[in-house]
Amino acid sequence: MAQDAMTNSGALVPAEGLQGIVADWSSDQRAFKKVPWGKAMMWIFLLSDTFIFTCFLTSYMTVRMSTTVPWPNPSEVFALTIAGHHIPLILIAIMTFILISSSGTMAMAVKFGYQKDRVKCAVLMLVTAAFGATFVGMQAFEWTKLIMEGVRPWGNPMGAAQFGSSFFMITGFHGTHVSIGVIFLLIIAAKVLRGDLDHARPGFMTGRKGSYEMVEIMGLYWHFVDLVWVFIFALFYLW
C-alpha cells in the first residue's frame, strides 16, 4: 500500500496518481468514509447485475440481427383484444406504468424513512410491494398467453425459434428480481412498522440503531430493477 508523503513542515500530503488510488481504497479511510458497507455492497451487486443484463440484451440483439428467419412483430405478439378492439402492447404499457410508478413510491418511502416517519415509510413500501406483485402477476398472464399460443424456449410458431428462448430468459430473469424485491420490501416494511430500525432490535436486516439506511439500500435495488425494465421495454417490445 502506498504511503502518504511528508513535507518539510511535517504535514501529511496524500499520495497522487495510481498510488493514491490504491492507498485510498486499501486503507478504507477516504474512499468509503461515512459510507455504510451495506450500501457499498449493494452498489457492487448492482454493478455485477448490470453486466449480466447487458450480456443478455446484447445477446438478444445479436441473435435478432443475425437470424435469417423472420422475427415476430412485438406489436402483434403482445397485443390484446379488448371489447372487440385489437390493442397492441396495451398490457406491456400498463406493466411499465406500474413499475415506473413504484419507483416514485419507493423514493417517498426513503424520504419518510430518514424523517423517522415510520408509518408513512412502511405504508409506501407496502404500496411499492403491491405494485411489484401486480407487475409479476401481469407478467405471469403474459407468459401464460404465449405458452398457450405455442411459444416455447426451444420453438416458436410465429417465426424465429430464438424468440421464445430470448423472451423467457430475459423477462424471467427480470421477473425473478422483482419477485425477490417484493419479498424483501414486505420484510423491511414489517420491521419499520414494528420500530425495529429505531431500536436496533436484533434480527435479519435490522441495520444500525436509529438508521433507516436499510430502506435506502432497498430503494437502490428497486430503482435498478425499474431501470433495467426500461431497457427491456425499449429493446424487446418496441424494436
Cα–Cα distance for residue pair 225/51, rounded to 1 Å: 13
Q: What residues are paired with 82 via a beta bridge?
A: 85
Q: Which structural domains are found in the chain, ordered by start? A: 1-34 (no CATH), 35-237 (1.20.120.80)
Which pLDDT value is given to residue 3?
Answer: 45
Q: How confident is the model at residue 5 (pLDDT cuts 50, 70, 90)?
A: very low
Which pLDDT value is given to residue 2?
Answer: 42
Which pLDDT value is given to residue 32?
Answer: 58
CB 141, CB 91: distance < 8 Å = yes
Cα–Cα distance for residue pair 184/173, rounded to 1 Å: 17
Cα–Cα distance for residue pair 209/197, rounded to 1 Å: 6
* Per-position DSSP letters for 185-229, written without gaps between them: HHHHHHHHHHTHHHHT-SSTT--STT--HHHHHHHHHHHHHHHHH
Which pLDDT value is given to residue 87?
Answer: 87
Cα–Cα distance for residue pair 229/225, rounded to 1 Å: 6
Q: Strand (E) positions, 79-207?
A: 80-82, 85-87
Residues 6+ apart with CB under 8 A from 120: 108, 109, 112
Q: 187-237 pLDDT, tens per residue?
A: 999 988 888 777 766 555 555 555 788 899 999 999 999 999 999 999 988
And the C-alpha cell for 175? 421477473
Burial class from Cβ neighbours inside 10 Å (0-12, 13-18, 19+) for residue 121 reads buried
Q: How confident is the model at residue 69 (pLDDT cuts 50, 70, 90)?
A: confident
Q: 90-130 pLDDT, tens per residue?
A: 999 999 999 999 999 999 999 998 888 889 999 999 999 99
